[in-house]
Every structure is written in structure tokens, then in C-alpha cells.
Structure 1
């Protein structure tokens, strides 16, 4: 016959005491903390009550009296229950590029952190890194972490250094009732135009003074796949100066060259004629032909 185990009621097992032990533990946690103290007069060991945060022990307990607590003086604090005979001094001083985020008070020391635009590294505040063109901010920097950058995915771009801007989506020319003049990449936006492009749209090219078409031509030339040194040479010819522009990345050079051409246009120069002549002088014949064909220039 199978036997059944029946608990011995005369000797209860440990599991029966679990609820009682839990209750006593909770009761003990809610009680005021204590500490052991030896009375200097009687040599008697006493259990004294600790002082709450913001106070300190002015007098230890005796057989007849509990602990006497007093508030911390100015610029001093105690953060926890304690049996300190004096409060701690607020010794934290905010340094360079730091701001105070927690004032010194009776229960807390002063707290400092790096000011906006900076983060803490090796006890120094370092300026947040900027994401270079072609990449954007994936996670903004905090007082404790640097900026996190990521390369712009297809359909997005970033054309400048920034510690705050994420990659931006390319604009849609069709939604604006325009046509795409230059397809965007990770470094620049898609550029739209209202200028008539291609022989299928017109049998006559735009006038040299047409502002929208001149801008379209500037954008088209600036973002052609021209080697950096030839792009530098092209700008040198247009400037009419022996001074060579400083080299940089292709994306940076294209932005500078485009800005230079826009400046020429705003100065009422005949940009179209001068640019075609410069392309020929720089021996960029294939680019010159593309411009003539695209903008129907004879």
C-alpha cells in the first residue's frame, strides 16, 4: 500500500514560518535605524536611535535619554540616516563648462554636470562631436554621452557638419510641379527646376538671362562627377586668378564651387557664357556637351 507523507504537527517544518519571518523583516525595515554606543560614564553598551537625513548627532543616547539630533548648518549635509557627530561639508565645486543642477542643501551635496553641447569624459567636459556631411545624428549628445552619428541611407542627405541634425529626406520634385535637375545623394538634396530641359520639351533653348535656367545650369555643372583637381582648375579659370583654391573632399569642393557660381550670377555676370568657356579651357569637353544638350544651347 502506498504511504502518504503527513506533516508532523508537533514539529512544523520551516515553510510554515515563512510568512511570519517576512512580516518581521518588513517590520524591522520600517523601524528607525539604530547604532551601538558605549556610555562613557557607565561603560554600558546602549542601542541608540540614528538621526534622519539633514541632521547629525548632537548628543549620543544615555540610559535615560534617546539620541539628540540637530539640523545641519549651512553648506553642510547628511544624505542618509546616520550617527555622525557632524555633517559633511558640501565640497563639490562646479568647474569649467559645468552648470549646477542640484544646489547644496541639508540632505544633498552640490551636483554639477556638463553644460549644453558638452559631455563628461575623464572628468572634463568635451564638446559634442559634429556629424560630417553625408552622415546625420542618430542619437543626440547628453551631458554624459557624445553624439552618435550614422551614414545617411538612400533617399536621405546631410550637407553640413552638425551635432544636432539628423539626415534629411530628399525633396520630391514632382510634388512641386517641377522636374529633377540633379539627383540627390548622401551629401546634397535633390535639386528641382522649372526650366525646360531636353529637346523633347522644347525646340528652342532658354535665354541666357533666364534666372531659373541659369541656376539649374549652375547646379547641374557643380554636381557633375568632375575630379577634384579639375574642379579646382575650373574655379581658378573662372576667378581669373593664379591662386589655387584649397583642396578638400569632392562633396566640400562641389558645395564651394556652387556657392562661387551663385555669387557670380548675383553679380550680374554672364554665367552661362563664362562657364561654357571655362569648361572648354579646362578641357572638360564631355561636361560642356552635356550642358549644351540639356539646356539646348547652341
Structure 2
């Protein structure tokens, strides 16, 4: 049995203002069960047959005496839309490397795959999300369909690591912690605070034996000086007592590596005197003098 479409009577004035809505509803009603044209092989007559709903297919086309006969799709087959297909489509999507199944194959949909966490689709391959470099934070997290979006850290914020998830972090406030600023922060590292305070004569409580906070302040102060990359590398070689070569990187990366090295070195013994000697050996005399004056190391 075929559906007939009823067009509403719009001649009554009260219906004029609703005319577009009524016409739209009428159109939707007509398309609720779509039809197709089919020529009957027996009578050779051109017939209008009902299509089959999603999840089914045409088992037998309509005749003058019988409507379209629809049957459900077999396993691993589907039809997504109203159709007049004589067989269902095969679920031919197979999840590839670095993909996960997000929708199983069923009678109305093909299997759907997408890139697993940490990857996004590019040129039909799943590519790992990019990491934002130091000095840049994540502005928008990557998705299965888009790469990570990074932005340079603005004034007052920093990022010191490669990360695909971390945004720029705000510099810490030393005053709120009851400390003073030892090293001003920039886009690559945080502001570094210390309890190794200056006295009324603008001097400091120098790093006495066992004074961990003042020695850490000295390490931070030296590590983040504007030292040329090759001189920074040479300084670490002197402290390591080793001529082994090191891979060069950006200044920010080398500073972080050098600071971590000094912190590790301090675990075994105090490094104040050793660090000052290394600065002199590396001919970084101005930095040595600044450190001595700042921390009362005469």
C-alpha cells in the first residue's frame, strides 16, 4: 500500500502565517516512506514501489498486487538509509594500526574506526600528536581528527618541557610564599624563589656548610645566566671531570640539563666551591664575580 501526500488547504487567511511550516510538514510526511520506480517483468508496467527502511533490503520488488517485500540484513551486512538494494552492503571497514573501534558493525551502520588516544588522522594514517616545545604551551588538545595546537607562552607564563597536554603555567609568586626572587621567570622556566634572604645591607645569608637553600639558590642563579651554549657545555665538562662530547641543544634545554646535573651533583657533597672554580676555569669571570658578590662568597 502506497502513501498519498496531503497538501494542506492554505486558502483560509488564518493559515497564511503558518504556510511555510505546513508545507514543510507536508513535505516531510511525503518523504517518510520514500518510493522508487520499478518495471514489472510480468506486466511490463511501470510501478511506484515503496523503499525498504534502514537495516533491511528488497527481497522482492513490488507488483500490481503486492507491496515491496523487505527482509533484515544478515550478520556483518547493513543498509544505512531507505533503499531499494537487492542485497545489503558488507561491513568492509577494518580498523588499522593505531586505531580503535568506536562503533560496531550492525544492521544500519558500517564499522567506524578512529585514531587511538594520543594520535590523529592525517592522510589516512594515525600520526602521534605533536608536543609543544619549551616556551610553548598547549592551546588546544589534540583529538582523533586534529593535531595539538601550541602557542608561545605570554609574559608571566612558562613551559619548560616538551608536552602534548600541558598549557603554559603561571610564574610563581615568591612574596606569597614568604620568599624573595632569586631568578626572574621567562617563557622557558618558572620564577625561582629562595629563603636565602638579603639583609639590610643588601647582602645575603651566604651558603654556609649544610645550608641547602642557599646552595640551591646559587645553583639556580648560575644555571640561568646568559651563558653561551658552548661555554655552558664546557662548564659541565669541567664539573664532570670528563672530556666526553655532549649533544648541543637550545639554550633553554641546555640550562635545564645543566641545572639538573648540578642538583644531582649536590646530592653527594656541597658544590659551592667546586662550581666557583669551574666558572673561573671556563673563563666565566663576570658570572663568578656576580655569584660571589650576591652570596657573600669571598
- TM > 0.5 fold call: yes
Asked if the contact 1:228/1:247 (under 8 Å) is kept, the reply is yes
Q: 1:83 to 1:177 in 2, by over 3 A?
A: same
Q: 1:18 to 1:297 in 2, by over 3 A?
A: closer
Q: Partners of 2:169 and 2:75 in 1: how far apart? A: 52
Deviation at 1:46, TM superposition (A): 1.1
Q: Partners of 1:181 and 1:288 in 2: how far apart? A: 16
User: What are the superposed Cα offsets for residues 193-223 of structure 1, whole Å, 9 maximum, x if unpaired?
Assistant: 1112367255863413311111110000000
Q: Partners of 1:86 and 1:204 in 2: how far apart? A: 86
Deviation at 1:133, TM superposition (A): 0.3
Deviation at 1:43, TM superposition (A): 0.8
Query: What SS class does the counterpart of residue 272 from structure 2 fall into?
Result: helix
Asked if the contact 2:196/2:205 (under 8 Å) is kept, the reply is no
Report whether the alignment pairs 1:115 with 2:116: yes
Asked if the contact 1:76/1:89 (under 8 Å) is kept, the reply is yes
Asked if the contact 1:198/1:295 (under 8 Å) is kept, the reply is no
Query: Which runs of structure 2 are paired with 1:246-265 in the superposition (5 Å)?
Result: 246-265=247-266
1:166 aligns with 167
Query: What SS class does the counterpart of residue 189 from structure 1 fall into?
Result: coil
Query: What SS class does the counterpart of residue 66 from structure 1 fall into?
Result: coil
Asked if the contact 1:196/1:295 (under 8 Å) is kept, the reply is no
Asked if the contact 1:76/1:88 (under 8 Å) is kept, the reply is yes
RMSD: 2.0
Out of 153-162 and 275-284, give the one that drifted further.
275-284
What residue ranges of structure 1 are gaps of 5+ in the alignment? Answer: 1-11
User: What are the superposed Cα offsets for residues 214-267 of structure 1, whole Å, 9 maximum, x if unpaired?
Assistant: 111000000011111111111111111121322211111111111111111101
Deviation at 1:24, TM superposition (A): 5.5
Query: Which runs of structure 2 are paired with 1:91-170 in the superposition (5 Å)?
Result: 91-170=92-171
- TM-score, normalised with respect to structure 2: 0.90
2:29 aligns with 30
Asked if the contact 2:54/2:82 (under 8 Å) is kept, the reply is yes
- TM-score, normalised with respect to structure 1: 0.90
Deviation at 1:105, TM superposition (A): 0.5
Deviation at 1:26, TM superposition (A): 3.2
User: What are the superposed Cα offsets for residues 14-49 of structure 1, whole Å, 9 maximum, x if unpaired?
Assistant: xx9997787456324313211111111111111111
Instruction: Give the total of aligned pairs.
Output: 283
Query: Which runs of structure 2 are paired with 1:55-66 in the superposition (5 Å)?
Result: 55-66=56-67
Report whether the alignment pairs 1:283 with 2:246: no
What residue ranges of structure 2 are gaps of 5+ in the alignment? Answer: 1-10
